[in-house]
Amino acid sequence: MTPIKRHELTRRTFLALTGTACGAMALGPSAKSESGTEWPNHAAVSMRAGRPTLVVNGREAPPFAYMSYLGETQFYREVAEAGIHLYCFPAYLGDRGINTISEIGPFRDGIWIGEDAYDFGSIEKDFAEVLEADSEAQVVIRLHMDPPEWWEAAHPEACCLLPDGSTFRQCFSSTQWREATAKVLLHCLDWLQQSPYAKHLIGVHVAAGFTEEWFYHFRDTFHDENPARTEAFRDWLRRTYGDSVERLQTAWGDDAIGFETAHLADISGAERRHDWLEKHAHRHRYDSLCFHTETMVENIAYFCALVKAHSDRRLLTGAFYGYHYFVGDPRRGHGALRKLLACPDLDYLSSPNVYNRVLGEDWPPMVAVASVHRHGKLWLAENDTRTFKTTPLKERAPHISPPGFYEDGVWLGPDSVSDSVALLRKNAGRMLAHGYGGWWFDMWGGWFSDPELLAVLRRTQELGMTERDRRIDGMEPQVAVVVDETLAFQDGSFGELTEGILANRFALGKIGTSYELLLRGDMMAVDPARHRFVWLLGLPHLDPTESNRIAQWQEHGVHVLHTRLTDSTLRRPGQQPDRILDETIRFTPSELRTHLKEAGVHLYVDADDVVYAGNGWCCIHTEEGGDRTVHFPFPVTITDAFAQQNIAQDITQVELTLGPRSTTLLQVDRKADA
């Protein structure tokens, strides 16, 4: 298509560009552009039946979608025939690949081709591919906002500045980059609003940074010596310390420091220590990492607010962020989720499932999803699940495939269709039992192009369309795990020690029941009337309020396992003394089940199987298979959700023989008087 040049900004655009704070850009009731065009769709997330729900044009919609980096009509058609009509496809302002380590090539042509010049041909092509397959398609565009190479060369003052004077993508503290990008984003929205595709658009997934996930770009070490970053840090210090230089000096233990002279600590990673750093003794480093992570959150909030303002809040907004449960390196910038959850302009958050992609293991989200839901945000899992149909990128798109990457390890799928079915069913079971959605991420295309795999997608969609009407009370998790997303800020090894604690997520996946993961700031959400066991996982110290809260839990019979940095304490109700577990920070599934039984937690299975239970579903994923007794907390009728066969009625336990390397999803209906 002909590039659009000198596209005039509307008044709404100007007002949005001048906004600075999250939530400050709501601009009144008009959803019209200067041409009089209205946004035809209204997509939002609202709390219904106690949890975040996707609502499109006033109707609840199952939050399951399909996405591919190399989307093709044939694959879109397959998923449309499976009943999926929600899609996501990528678009890029820049002209470079998303991974600066592998140096993968770009998936699409860039939109931002010059100063005030744009080419939306890639978006047109993607819409054409989708709509040829599905005229009912509703689309969320994942818009990656890293700048093109020409812009970096023309504006080095707005880019990440390395010690040798070269630049490396954008400086995330640069208002020049942010405002220039905002201008392009709003041009995109104006074009979309006036295009024939507007009636199919329901949202924008704002993306930037390494792998589109709001990670800072760096290789072995992180550097950004842009003066804009230093000035932004000094402004952050003024806000944090209330313009009191005395408070700053006391916190840093430096009587000579001032707001005009403060610099960021060295967080490059060039020098590492294999020990934990006391927060108060290393406050300079801690503050530097807080600023580092909050900068990413401020950018996400800024761009989400632009989308909301420019669409009169009719477009959905989302982003990848908050990977504190998997990415232990704080330099990546994912330690300020709690701040982002307060943003009213963000509808949903996402991450891939944790990369332990083997049979028999839990693949949890990388984020405290219970906190995400508690703050009214929808969680959407990126199910980039490899299957026996997965092929290397070099076979699908050799022109962008870097040598030696995307060929082995996690990039390989299982050998058989049965293993692939088990993995996809496990994805489905986790989403349903935990009350969230996601997209089937067909990265290179064709990963799900098989009748048996498509049958899993179809059945999941069917279950998702009905499951909100049949929520079953009494299956809520009785185990709460509380984590501190800033734990890694005290890790001198930049993540290695943090992983030693968070690796307990693999044992937690095999405890025989579900658990809720909460951020430390949401500890007060623990309900002693429901939760029987709480694990404070990686909290070095407790403040008086937290200690008092724990005492209140114990008065109600709650057992508390507190894992600090090098040891753990088991606190049991009553007069029994605390049990000190010296030098124990890692637990096996069997050890955890022993503690859970003592606390009176209901276990569905007493074996090292992966179990997801909740919202009227019980999913069991097993590698070994064999005979299992499945226990329920009340009389139920159970149905095999995929086989669509009734198994038993009015029972509290059932004997099942599970096949090896299999996933069984049980639909649970509670007896009326139970």
Hey, how many other C-beta atoms are within 10 angstroms of the C-beta on 489?
22
Do 56-233+284-470 and 471-674 share a fold?
Answer: no
Pair 417, 44: CB distance under 8 Å: no
Euclidean distance between CA atoms 66 and 127, whole angstroms: 14
In this structure, what token pair is assigned to residue 640? Answer: 């095999």
> Which of 164, 485, 95, 147 lies closest to 325 in space, CA to CA?
485
Encoded amino acid at 415, one letter: D
Parallel, antiparallel, or unpaired for β 59-60 and 64-67? unpaired
Question: pTM, whole model, 2 decimals?
Answer: 0.94
Measured distance CA(151)–CA(227) in Å, rounded: 19
Give the span between the Cα atoms of 654 and 204, in whole angstroms.
Answer: 45
User: What contacts 111, CB < 8 A, 6 or more positions away?
Assistant: 91, 92, 93, 118, 119, 120, 122, 123, 184, 188
Confidence grade of residue 49 (pLDDT, cut at 50, 70, 90): confident
pLDDT value at residue 13? 40
State residue 470's pLDDT score. Answer: 62
pLDDT at position 460 = 97
Give the amino acid at 96.
R
Q: What is the pLDDT of residues 149-194, one digit of tens each?
A: 999 999 999 999 999 999 999 999 999 999 999 999 999 999 999 9
- CA nearest to 5, candidates 113, 138, 163: 113
pLDDT score, position 91: 98
**Element spanning 464, H or E:** helix 451-466
- Contact between 407 and 401 under an 8 Å Cβ cutoff? The reply is no
Q: How confident is the model at residue 84 (pLDDT cuts 50, 70, 90)?
A: very high
Q: What single DSSP character describes residue 61?
A: -
pLDDT attached to residue 577: 72
Is the pLDDT at 570 greater than 80? The verdict is yes
Residue-wise pLDDT tens digits, 273-286 = 999 999 999 999 99
Contact 219, 168 (CB under 8 A): no
- State the pLDDT confidence band at 467, using cuts at 50, 70 and 90: low
Q: Which position has the token pair 């949202």?
A: 203
Mean pLDDT of 574-578: 73
Contact present, 457 and 448 (Cβ < 8 Å) = yes
Contact 323, 334 (CB under 8 A): yes
What are the pLDDT digits (tens) for 336-351? 999 999 999 999 999 9
Cβ atoms < 10 Å from Cβ of 105: 17
* pLDDT at residue number 25: 33
Sheet strands side by side (includes 51-56): 43-48, 51-56, 59-60
List, in sequence order, every beta strand (DSSP E) within 209-338.
Answer: 316-320
Whether residue 518 contacts residue 481, with contact meaning beta carbons closer than 8 Å, is answered with yes
C-alpha span between 128 and 1 (Å, rounded): 13
Rounded CA gap, 517 and 368, in Å?
Answer: 5
pLDDT one-digit tens code per residue, 195-252: 999 999 999 999 999 999 999 999 999 999 999 999 999 999 999 999 999 999 999 9
pLDDT (average), residues 586-596: 97
pLDDT of 112 reads 98
Alpha helices in 311-344 (DSSP H): 337-341
Helices 121-133, 73-81: crossing angle, 10 deg rounding: 40
Q: Say whether pLDDT at 576 is over 80.
A: no
Q: What confidence tens digit (pLDDT) does each residue in 296-317 have?
A: 999 999 999 999 999 999 999 9
pLDDT of residue 560: 97
Q: pLDDT tens across 16-35, in order? A: 443 444 433 333 333 454 44
Using the predicted structure, report yes or no on whether residue 621 has a pLDDT greater than 60. Answer: yes
Structure tokens at 472: 């079953």
How many Cβ atoms from other residues are within 10 Å of residue 662's Cβ?
Answer: 19
Residue 625 CA neighbour count, 13 Å, CB half? 9
Domain range 56-233+284-470, its CATH number among 3.30.300.130, 3.40.50.300, 3.30.565.10, 3.20.20.80: 3.20.20.80
Helix, strand and coil in the chain, % to nearest 5: 30, 25, 45
Q: Select from 382, 442, 394, 421 the least CA-distant residue to 75.
A: 442
Question: Would you list the DSSP string of 353-376?
Answer: BPS--STTS---BSS-HHHHHHTT
Specify the CATH class of 471-674 in words. mainly beta
Position 50 scores a pLDDT of: 84
From the number of C-beta atoms within 10 Å of its C-beta (0-12, 13-18, 19+), residue 257 rates as middle
Q: What is the mean pLDDT of residues 574-599?
A: 90
Mean pLDDT of all residues in the chain?
A: 93
- Dihedral of CA atoms 634, 636, 641, 647 in degrees, nearest 10, equals 130
Cβ neighbours for 520, distance < 8 A, ≥ 6 positions apart: 482, 483, 484, 485, 539
pLDDT of residue 673: 54
- pLDDT > 70 in the chain, percent: 93
CA distances (Å), origin 352, targets 322, 440, 637:
11, 11, 33
Domain layout of the chain by residue ranges? 56-233+284-470, 471-674
Mean pLDDT of 586-610: 97
Q: Any residues with CB less than 8 A from the CB of 163 and at least 6 apart, and which? A: 223, 225
- What count of residues does the chain have? 674
pLDDT tens digit sequence for 627-673? 999 999 999 999 999 999 999 999 999 999 999 999 999 999 987 65
Q: What average pLDDT does the segment 352-357 reach?
A: 94
Phi and psi angles of residue 275, each rounded to the nearest 5 degrees, phi first: -155, 165
